[in-house]
Structure formats: structure tokens, C-alpha cells
A and B are shown apart, each in its own frame.
Chain A
Amino acid sequence: MFSKNSVLALLVSVVGCALLYIALEGSILVALAVLVLALGLMVVGERTGKVDLVCRSVSDHKRISLAVVSVFILILPFMISNNYLLHVAVMGGIYSIVTLGLNFQIGTGMVNFATAAFFGTGAYTSALMATKFGLSPWLTTILGMVSAASLGILFGFPALKTRGYYLSLITMSLQVIFTLMIINTSWLGGPNGVPGVPAYSIGDVSLRMPLAIFGLDLPYQANYLYLVFILLGLTVFAALCLHNSRTGLAWNSIEQDEIVAITQGINLTKMKLLAFALGAAFAGLAGGLYGHYTSFIGVEDFTFSKSLVFICMVLLGGIDNPFGVVLGALMLTIVDEKLRDFADYRMLMYSLILIVILLLRPQGLLPKRIRQYQAANKMREAKAWFSLKGERSSP
């Protein structure tokens, strides 16, 4: 059963995880070197056509890759040298969930500058419900998702009438309004934020307690690492299902040309609002996780520049490719946290990375791939069965 392709899939997953681990553990220069290496590998792979082969083997052997990634996440807390790096990994997971949501809107051709507002709505709803009304954090996270999705629908309405620059300006305005309203409303904590957000707990065990297994005391971040990455796995799965469904196809066709999409019978209203609502729900989920993880939320985490950072992550990873988006979010979070000592340079770095990506590789690290449908897969299998040399079987 160990075909060449399955070995390749195994190898690629292991190398990918190893590169992420090296970037996480190394210094800022190492992290940037990994980023450049990954980009270089992709470019070389695309030139020689190896990327197609790799992608196909990974998609044919999803279980192997999934197993490798799961094992990597499971043993990450044991391998890592300090708790701070574990925190970076958790934040990477949280931001990945947000960018997966933002990807729905960008994949529909709507550049949304209000993602941080959705993220913030989830965080504030969840944190305030838990601190002021004493509800269970699990419940409040769901409430946060619901409220973020409602805000998403509200913010999505302008997208029905406008597009392009006008839509961008509207989302920017709404983002600025959101930030100003938080600062000016004392019930929401105003400029002081919301302190003392309770942690999740399973039964009587709070997730903010050190985790003891195999006689080892793992730091509490490990709990959150597992929680966040389980949820990230679920959201990636949901995003992939959506991407491969008719909905995902409709979103992409709207991005290509709205008028053609209408003539094909796509319900623009429904699809655009869906992209906003689902994307906002993802961001709201991440916001709830963020609040209950850090135990403090402040308005500076939900400003316009944060929205820009999320867009930067999507672009770096590759628009409309869920794996690429997650990769972009993880890499940028790692690089960003490495720059913590040079806090003044962080926004400069983001803006320069954004310009460089746009100039040199606008399709991102992992560009979106042509959809593989069941029929095409079947055809490929059949051709392989008859041992035809069908390297490029699907048209």
C-alpha cells in the first residue's frame, strides 16, 4: 500500500511541520529564512511542475497528512523550549481561524477591512457575557459567534449595492466606527478594555491549569493549543467543504464577474450575505477563543491596522486556498511575535511584506488550485488503472 505518492505525501507533511517548527523555535532571521525558503521551493516547484505532483499526492492521501499534522500538534508542547513560543502557536491558530473567514469575503471579490470588528464583536460579546452575567465561556463563545455573524450580515448589506473601492471605503468606515464606539462606550470597558475574562473549564478543571499527563506538567497554554487546533481543524474542514461545494463555486464566479454570475442564476444577495455571515462567524469564534485565552481584551487588538494584518495574512498565504491562508496566518504570526522586541518596526514590516508580495508574487505562497471534481478524480483513477500515461488527464 505504500505507493510512491503516499511516501511523498508523508514527506511533504513532515517537512512542512518541521519548517514551521524551525521557524517557531528559531530567531527572527531563521523565521524569515524559512519564509523565503518556502517561497523559493514553491517557485522552483512550479517551474518544474513538481507542485502539481505534490498537491495531488497530498490530496490523494489526506489521511497520512492529517495524521502527521495531528501528531505534530500533539507533541508540540513537549518539544517546545518555552511557554511563550507555545503562546505564539496558539495565537497563530486563532488568527488562522479569522483569516479562513476573511478568505470567504476576499474569495468573493469583496475586500473587507472590517474583519477586526468581527473578531472584536466575538471577543467583546463573549467576554462581557461571561464577566457581567457569569455565563459559561463555552456558551458565550457561541453567543459571540452569533453576534459576530449578525454584525457580518449588517456590514454585508452595503456589499449588495456597492463594490470595489466604494465597498472598501464602507468597510473601512464601519471598522473605524466600531473602534470609536468601543472607546467611547464605558459599559464596554472603553479604552481600559475588559479584564478578568474567565477561562474555559471542562467539568471542574479550568483550562488555565497546567496540564499533567505522563507525569509531565505541561504549561496551561498546551490546553489551549489543543483546543484551538481542534477548532482550527474543524474550521479548515468546513472551509474546504464550502470551497468544494456549489457555494464556493458561486463565490468565485461572483469574484470573476458579477454580471455573468447573475446570468448563471446565482443569487447574489444570498451568496454575498452568506460570505459575510460565515466569515464573521469564524472571526467571532476566534474572538471568543482569544478573550477566554488571554483573559484580557483591549480595543487596540481590534483596530483598522489589525484588519490590515488579516488581509496581509490572506494575501501572503494565497487567496482562496484554505491551506495557504492558514499557512500565511501561522507564518506571519510567528514573524510578528519574533519582532516583539522591535515593536516599533512591526507595522513597517507588515506594510513592506504586503508591498513585496503584491509586487513579486500576488498569488501568494500557496496559490489557489484548479478545482478537482469527483468526475475528474474518477477519470484519473480509471486512467491509472489502465496504466495509461495520463500525467495531465484532467483538462
Chain B
Amino acid sequence: MSLVMSQILNAVMLGCTYSLVAIGFSLFFGVMDVVVFCAGDVAIFGAFSILAIVTMTVLQPVLDTFLPQYVTIFLLVSFSAVATAALMLLMYKLVIKPFEGKSALMPLLSTIAAGIALSELIGIFYPQGRNPQAFPQLLSSDATVLGGMMSERNAIIILATIVLVTLLYWFVNKTKLGLAIQAVSQNKEAAIMIGINRQLSITVTFLIGGLILGIGGFLVASYSNIVRFDMGAMYGLKGFSAAVVGGLGSIYGAIVGGMIIAFIEVFVSAFIPGGTAYASVAAFLMVVVFILFKPEGIIGEKSVEKV
């Protein structure tokens, strides 16, 4: 029983990391109708920026001397989240904005290319960037909570996701800017007509998406304890799959989708003999089946094409 329970918690945790990148995909898709494929690589860039600060500078020990440990971590993660937000905005300017109003194929390919370029740049310019890097154990995995069921690290991953999603919920539904973003994603022309600054909404969406991706990158690196320069492609693909399974454009769908993908992966590798190698295969097969039979996702509106 405890085996099942611990696997469930494990899946929830993995699901949290997938959900965050899926939320990024959904936000961008909602506001601009593009799939920003470099999201995974941007997230991993965030993880590398934390790694660089911790291993190459003395910032962490200096901060640790007069601040509590969690404040230091919070500062580090905020820094990397700001960096990824800036990077995301740069990506928007470079490879998404020029293709506005053109065939959907173009931003798809340009963002894939941008993601590869980003990961290759990390691989080339980060010292020993092509080898897997041990990610610093900022969150301790020894201390446990819930009667030994879950390590403190995992609890923090889940907690951080819940806090983030709550904040996002508040922002999207309770602030004027958030409502403006919703309006833009529902109907671009109508939103412009009632005086919403569409460009501002898009910029803010990309900033927020970038922040979330940065935090997601930190969590996924903490979860797997290592970072590799090319991890972003797979992370992004899983995140996009999660967004599609949940319903592209829906934030709650992204969370549901992330959980489903994570549960399938964890359960296939835990309970099917020799299943570890086939965990991703099962997850992707499920995605294919889902797109074929329920393309609008679990939470999503069915779109009917009009001539």
C-alpha cells in the first residue's frame, strides 16, 4: 500500500513539473494562437542560470550568511525566473512576432529552431555543457514530512506549484490585466475594439509565462537532480502533450493533462515489469490516442470549422 502511495506522490510531483510547462504552452497559445515550442528549452535555461550562479559565484554562501536558507533559494529562483521571462520576451520579438498572421507552420518551425539553438548554445558555451550537470541540492531531500511519506523537497515542489497556480488564478480572473488577457484570447478583434491594449496583453502573457517556465525548470532540475543541455526538448514535448491532453488554451486543462501524463509514466515504469524503458512510449501513445479521439482535450471547447 505504501508503495502505491509513494508512487502516487511521485506522479503528482512529476505532474507538477509537467503542468507548469503546459501552463506556459496554454498561456501562449491562448493569447497568440501559436505553439511556442522553445518553452521547454527556456525552462532548462532557467535551471542552468541557477546552476551557474551557485557553482560559479559566491553569491549563495554570501547570502546564506545573513539570510535564512529558504530566502536565499527564493531569491535565486526569482532571479532565474526573471531571466527566463526576459528570454521569453526576446523569443517573442525574434521568432514569434515576425510570423504573426502568417501560416501556422512558420512560428512552429521557428520556435523549434529557436529552442534547439538555445539548447545548443548552452551546450557550447556552458563549461562542459555537453555533459550532464549535477544540480545543486538546494532543497534537501533527506528531511521528510507527512510521516516519512514524502521528502521535504517533493513537498516544496508540490506546494510551489499550488501557490503558483493560485497566484495565476488570481491574476487571470481578478485583475484588470488578467481579464484583458482573457479577452484577447477569446476574441482578438473584439478585445481591440473595446480598447484593450493587445500588445501589452501579449507582452505581459509572455513575461508571466516566462516566469512560470523558469520556476518549472528549477523544479524539474531539482526533481531529477541533474540537468542536461538537451533536456528541454523532451520536457517541452511532454509539456505540450500535457497541454493538448488537457485542452490547449486552458490553464486547468494543463494541470489535469500534466497529471495524466505523469501518472501514466510513473505507473508504467513502477508496475509493469521492464516498463521503465517504455514509460515515455506509453505516454506518447496515449497522447496520440487522445488527439485522435478527443482533440479538444479534457477541458476545452470543441471548435467547429466554419467556411
Contact = CB atoms under 8 A, between A and B. Distances in A.
Interface centre among A164, A304, A355 (most CB of B within 10 A): A355
A358 interface: yes
Interface string B222-247: 00000000000110010011001000
A149 to B, nearest CB: 20
Interface string A335-352: 000000000110110111
A166 B280 CA distance: 18
B280 A176 contact: yes
A355 B96 CA distance: 11
Given A181-B281, A304-B233, A351-B116, A259 B307 contact: yes
A358 B99 contact: yes
Nearest to A160: B292
A165 B117 CA distance: 21
Interface in A346-372: 347-348, 350-352, 354-355, 358-359, 362
Given A162-B291, A165-B35, A165-B108, A351 B281 contact: no
A247 interface: no
Contacts of B117: 348, 351-352, 355
B114 interface: yes
Contacts of A311: 109
Contact of A350 (B110, B116, B234, B288): B116
Nearest to A342: B124
B292 A158 contact: yes
B113 A352 contact: yes
A94 B237 CA distance: 29
Contacts of B307: 259
A150 interface: no
Given A158-B291, A169-B240, A259-B305, A358 B109 contact: yes
A308 B119 CA distance: 15
B198 interface: no
Interface string A166-205: 1011101110110011011000000000000000000000
A392 interface: no
A111 B104 CA distance: 10
Contacts of A359: 98, 110
Given A344-B130, A354-B110, A355-B117, A169 B124 contact: no
A47 interface: no
Interface string B102-141: 1011101110111011001101100000100000000000
B116 A173 contact: no
Nearest to A255: B103
- By size class, the interface of chain B is 35 or more
Contacts of A344: 120, 123-124, 130
Contact of A351 (B94, B114, B284, B295): B114
B278 interface: yes
A184 B278 contact: yes
Contacts of B42: none
B110 A177 contact: no
A170 B109 contact: no
A305 B102 CA distance: 25
B307 to A, nearest CB: 6
B241 to A, nearest CB: 7
Nearest to B296: A166
A47 B94 CA distance: 27
A177 B106 CA distance: 25
B187 to A, nearest CB: 20
Contacts of B89: none
Given A162-B295, A305-B116, 13 more contacts: A158-B288, A158-B292, A166-B244, A169-B240, A169-B287, A170-B288, A173-B288, A259-B305, A308-B116, A345-B120, A351-B112, A354-B113, A358-B113
Interface of B: 35, 94-95, 98-99, 102, 104-106, 108-110, 112-114, 116-117, 120-121, 123-124, 130, 233-234, 237, 240-241, 244, 248, 277-278, 280-281, 284-285, 287-288, 291-292, 295, 305, 307
9 contacts: A161-B292, A169-B241, A173-B284, A173-B288, A177-B280, A259-B307, A348-B121, A350-B113, A355-B95
